[in-house]
Amino acid sequence: MNLTGGIVLYASLWFLTLFVVMPIGQRSQADMGQIVPGTPAGAPANLNWRRKLLWTTLVTSILWGIIAWVILGGFVTRADIANLDHLLR
């Protein structure tokens, strides 16, 4: 894995993790009983972006480290990936 591949992998994992982390612990305006006029009741009541982005970065860094270790350690090679097609038939 080269530098560009590592950056693309990290960015892809970061956005995937963000979409997984966003709804965790989120309470809607209807749950809080404070619906702002003009907004849907299911809208977030108090979204803490800083905390969500911090958790996203932390989880992504751990996942990226594990995946980079597997790729750079030679546990999975391009030949192994090419042979997956043969195994599925």
Nearest-5° angle of CA 18, CA 20, CA 41?
Answer: 95
pLDDT of res. 55: 96
DSSP, res 43: S
The total domain count for the chain is 1
Which residues neighbour 10 within 8 Å (Cβ) at sequence distance 6 or greater? 60, 64
Structure confidence by residue, pLDDT tens digits, 35-74? 888 989 888 888 889 999 999 999 999 999 999 999 899 8
Structure confidence by residue, pLDDT tens digits, 23-36? 998 888 888 888 88
pTM metric for this prediction: 0.78
For 17, the domain range is 3-88
Nearest-5° angle of CA 51, CA 54, CA 60?
Answer: 140
